[in-house]
């Protein structure tokens, strides 16, 4: 999962509403990861994402 750095979290120009912590893509990846129950899935998801970016 992507962690925000301090600058992003405490930016003085940040909007009052909370940021979208989890994008739609990350949510689906997270659900698969939870179902799979394996930390290695995170690495697999990143590989698949980079491959799909090349294919597209």
Residues 6+ apart with CB under 8 A from 42: 1, 33
Residue 51 placed within a domain: yes
Residue 37 placed within a domain: yes
- Chain centroid offset of residue 53 CA: 15
Tell me the pLDDT of the chain (56 aa) as tens digits: 566 555 555 555 555 554 567 677 887 888 887 877 766 767 778 888 888 876 65
| pLDDT (0 to 100) of residue 55 | 64
3-state secondary structure of 16: coil
Overall number of domains in the chain: 1
Residue 13 placed within a domain: no
What residue numbers bound the domain in which 37 lies? 20-55
**Dist CA 31 CA 10 (whole Å):** 28
């Amino acid at each position: 999962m992507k962690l925000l750095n301090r600058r992003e979290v405490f930016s003085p120009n940040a909007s009052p509403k909370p940021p979208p912590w989890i994008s739609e893509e990350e949510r689906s990846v997270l659900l698969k990861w939870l179902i799979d129950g394996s930390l290695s899935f995170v690495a697999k998801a990143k590989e698949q994402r980079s491959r799909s970016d090349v294919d597209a």
